[in-house]
Amino acid sequence: MTHVVTQPCFGCKYTDCVVVCPVECFHEGEQMLYIDPEECIDCGACTPECPVEAIFLDDNVPTQWHDFIALNAEMAPRTSGIFERKTPLAEPR
């Protein structure tokens, strides 16, 4: 199993989750972050850190966002790893 970044991250790109990841499995796209399912160790440290509640265990992804499971797997290897906190695209909530 792995964790998945879903729709609420699109256009926000908060990076609070990135700094707690022990295996650096996050990758940065233009509009959102992705989790590489090959790198994620399913520790769950990222989930409570996401201010927009965009991260789910793959088995718990809401039905309307199931496409994000494949999207994370596809996009993570195509994008650069992100290891530090950055300014988000959205205003802080």
Of 65, 76, 83, 5, nearest to 38 by C-alpha is 76
For the record, the structure tokens of 26 come out as 């996050």
Q: Assess whether pLDDT exceeds 80 at residue 87.
A: yes
User: pLDDT tens, 45-58?
Assistant: 999 999 999 999 99
Which tens digits make up the pLDDT trace of 10-64? 999 999 999 999 999 999 999 999 999 999 999 999 999 999 999 999 999 999 9
Question: Hunting for tokens 């802080």 — which residue is that?
Answer: 92
pTM of the model: 0.94
Nearest to 46 by CA among 70, 14, 75: 14
Going along the chain from its start, the domains and CATH numbers come out as 3-81 (3.30.70.20)
